[in-house]
Amino acid sequence: MEEASMIPVLPFVSLLALTGAARAEEAPRPIRLNQTGLEASGPKRAVLADPATAPLDWTLLDASGAVVAGGKTRVFGDDAASGEHVHQIDFSAVRKTGDGYRLKVGAAESRPFALKARPDGQLTRAALSFFYQQRASVPIEARFVERPDLARPAGHAPDKATCFDQADERGQVWPGCDYTLDASGGWYDAGDQGKYVVNGGISVWTLVNAYERAAVLKRPGALKALGDGSQALPENANGVPDILDEARFELTFLLAMQVPEGKTLQVPIGKQKPVDGKLVLTAIDAAGMAHQKLADRNWTALPTAPADDRQTRYLYYPTTGATLNLAAVAAQAARVWKPIDPAFAAKCLDAARRAFAAAQAHPDIYAIGPFTGSGGYGDGDLTDEAYWAAAELYATTGEARYEKALRASPLFLASPTAGARPTGDISWGSVGALGTMTLALAPSGLKPAEVAQARANLIASAGKYLGDDLGQGYALPFAGPGYPWGSNSSVLNRVLVLGVAYDFTGEIAYRLGAVDALDYVLGRNPLDRSYVTGFGARPMRHPHHRFWAHQADPAYPEPPAGVLSGGPNSTSMSDPVAKDMKAQCRPQTCWTDDYRAFTQNEVAINWNAPLVWASAFLDDTAR
């Protein structure tokens, strides 16, 4: 087999790499649009903040300064999310490719932009490279990253831990366990160096679903774009699609977090509230369950390279939520890897079966914090996780026991906004829609009418998202009233629903809604910011991250391209920067490009995963 170093796949080269990290930041412009350019054959919209109550004249100039189009702005008016009075400019009728276009409205002028024949795939590659650079237990090699300073030694190699057996913040001493797990590998979750089964679950599912969509729908362009040799990865010459290689790196960690056979652990059962600071612990046969996380005892200082992390790491007690996440993604993997690596597929299916059985035996073991040094990922309603896991196992096996669990769920065939009990928007804590997406896409034993109902419910939610788009001054398929922690992922997770609606119907409006979501993230927003590093004239540069921490210490690197900021957060403003912004900002403007602003500018695997999905979808469906 050819050596990976010989494969002609180059890392994405960002604007930072080309011009230097110390370049001056460009000033904001009053005309806001996607800073990476627009599709010549697609929708083209810009937004202008202006107090005028009557339509204004706009002109579009080409690179030579000649006027190629003109018209009147559409007065949207007062926009609650941005706090601005805005005008929308639609120049979709212009379809000639070229560089150097500029929009003008009176004295206001946009920066030059391109109209491109189709997306170039660079955003998809860079967004997926994020996961390689979050890998634990292996060195990040210079040949696979865009700049030499992004290479680093392996952190937590190996990543072995036993169960937490210290006093927690309530003073409760946990009993620990009599085993150690080697859970090396996987991705660091976010700006910290913890690894979490719950967040790993939705992130793996999203990447694998991007591939499964392309495979089931027979999309050759998408299969090639996500295929072997498409990414800058050590595994990019092994005959396996690169997106699956990356997902498998996390899957290996998830499988390693399963409690071995014959092990008894003491855990809190039910929705307990501490009495005198203590939880009631009950001994259970925990075999098959998944530990909630593997993480440091205390938060590491910022910055700290993974290889320099000296904190003691622990396994934290298994939970039903983590166990169902493992069951769901292991079942999905068993289905997708069966024609690629039957032995790995069988291993995944065995783990999924054991996890689902363990979760059914112990349905109410919740993540009850706190444990300083790692995120909680607590979830008080596991109905959606149980439905999702049953859907994945049924789609993979067709077995009656999983069909019974599936049909018994109140979420059966539900989508975010439709069904007997809507699932709510997709997030790590709201995964029911993932089950319906799988049932709507993957062949299974469901009746044709039931598959049609699953699709109809997803299409109905996509229609609701388009309605939200029409109600926003910045024309994005998301409506507040508040913007939550990780709001950019909230926007992009809606693209998954819009995307499948387009796949199932061919109706272009759903794809246009997906374009609007990416336009918002890449610059068409009131801050005139691209929230993706390395893309656009004013990209995010200072994430809350322990290694990509140049702002905190010049000895550390700036981030690579393709990293998504969590984005505006008007609801959880607890960090040192955000706390001073309370009641001082409108939802879309509650954001600062500052490494200290962890509620606004952290990065995370479950945020970059929908960026990969959305970008790959738009690449694939461009006309």
Is residue 389 over pLDDT 60?
A: yes
For residues 201-223, average pLDDT: 98
pLDDT tier at 9, thresholds 50, 70, 90? very low
Element (H, E) at 322: helix 320-337
pLDDT tier at 23, thresholds 50, 70, 90? low
The share of the chain scoring above pLDDT 90, in percent, equals 93
List b or e across 430-461, with b for residues whose CB sees 16 or more CB atoms inside 10 angstroms.
bbbbbbbbbbbbbebebeeebbebbbbbbbbb
* 546 located within any domain: no
According to the model, what pLDDT value does residue 370 have?
74
Q: How far apart are the first and last CA of the chain?
A: 36
pLDDT tens digits, residue range 41-99?
999 999 999 999 999 999 999 999 999 999 999 999 999 999 999 999 999 999 999 99
* 215 located within any domain: yes
pLDDT tier at 190, thresholds 50, 70, 90? very high
> CA nearest 452: which of 436, 433, 432, 431?
436
593 labelled catalytic = yes
602 labelled catalytic = yes
Q: What is the mean pLDDT of the chain?
A: 95
- Torsion angle (degrees, nearest 10) of CA 404, 406, 411, 415: -150
156 labelled catalytic = no
* 162 located within any domain: yes
Q: Is 117 helix (H, G, I), strand (E, B) or coil?
A: coil
According to the model, what pLDDT value does residue 22 have?
44
Element (H, E) at 329: helix 320-337
pLDDT tens digits, residue range 119-165?
999 999 999 999 999 999 999 999 999 999 999 999 999 999 999 99
> CA nearest 329: which of 216, 193, 209?
209
Spatial separation of the C-alpha atoms in residues 483 and 352, rounded to whole Å: 35
Of 228, 403, 602, 620, the catalytic one is 602
Give one DSSP letter per residue of 475-514, joined into a string.
--S---SS--TTHHHHHHHHHHHHHHHHHHH--HHHHHHH
* 310 located within any domain: yes
According to the model, what pLDDT value does residue 16 have?
40
Cβ atoms 293, 374 nearer than 8 A: yes
The pair of structure tokens assigned to 457 is 């419910």
pLDDT tier at 4, thresholds 50, 70, 90? very low
Of 192, 403, 558, 619, the catalytic one is 192
Cα separation values, 206 from 199, 222, 318, 366, 496, Å: 11, 15, 23, 24, 9
* 557 located within any domain: no
pLDDT tens digits, residue range 507-547?
999 999 999 999 999 999 999 999 999 999 999 999 999 99
pLDDT tens digits, residue range 290-304?
999 999 999 999 999
* 389 located within any domain: no
580 labelled catalytic = no
According to the model, what pLDDT value does residue 39 have?
97
According to the model, what pLDDT value does residue 623 have?
87
* 106 located within any domain: no
Q: How far is CA 491 from the centre of its chain?
A: 10
**Residue 614: which residues within 8 A CB-CB, separation 6 or more?**
492, 495, 496, 499, 514, 517, 518
Spatial separation of the C-alpha atoms in residues 590 and 568, rounded to whole Å: 5
For residues 265-272, average pLDDT: 96
Per the DSSP assignment, residues forming a β-bridge with 576 are none
Spatial separation of the C-alpha atoms in residues 377 and 196, rounded to whole Å: 8
Torsion-angle region of 171 (φ positive above 0: left; ψ -120 to 50: alpha; else: beta): left
For residues 417-439, average pLDDT: 98
* 261 located within any domain: yes
**Residue 64: which residues within 8 A CB-CB, separation 6 or more?**
none
CB atoms within 10 A of CB 65: 8
Helical segments of 71-226, H only: 122-133, 197-216, 220-225
Domain containing residue 222: CATH number = 1.50.10.10
> CA nearest 155: which of 181, 197, 188?
188
Is residue 493 over pLDDT 70?
A: yes
> CA nearest 601: which of 107, 191, 8?
191
Number of domains in the chain: 1
Cβ atoms 559, 545 nearer than 8 A: yes
Least confident piece of the model among 12-26, 195-209, 225-239? 12-26
Q: Is 268 helix (H, G, I), strand (E, B) or coil?
A: strand
Least confident piece of the model among 3-12, 189-198, 237-246, 352-361? 3-12
Of 593, 594, 619, 620, the catalytic one is 593
Domain, as residue range, for 334: 155-184+186-380
pTM: 0.96
**Residue 470: which residues within 8 A CB-CB, separation 6 or more?**
none
> CA nearest 233: which of 222, 213, 247?
247
Spatial separation of the C-alpha atoms in residues 422 and 457, rounded to whole Å: 9
Of 87, 362, 542, 544, the catalytic one is 544
Please state the three-class secondary structure of 25-72 as a single string.
CCCCCCEECCCCCEECCCCCEEEEECCCCCCCEEEEECCCCCEEEEEE
According to the model, what pLDDT value does residue 235 have?
98
Per the DSSP assignment, residues forming a β-bridge with 108 are 105
**Residue 282: which residues within 8 A CB-CB, separation 6 or more?**
266, 267, 268, 269
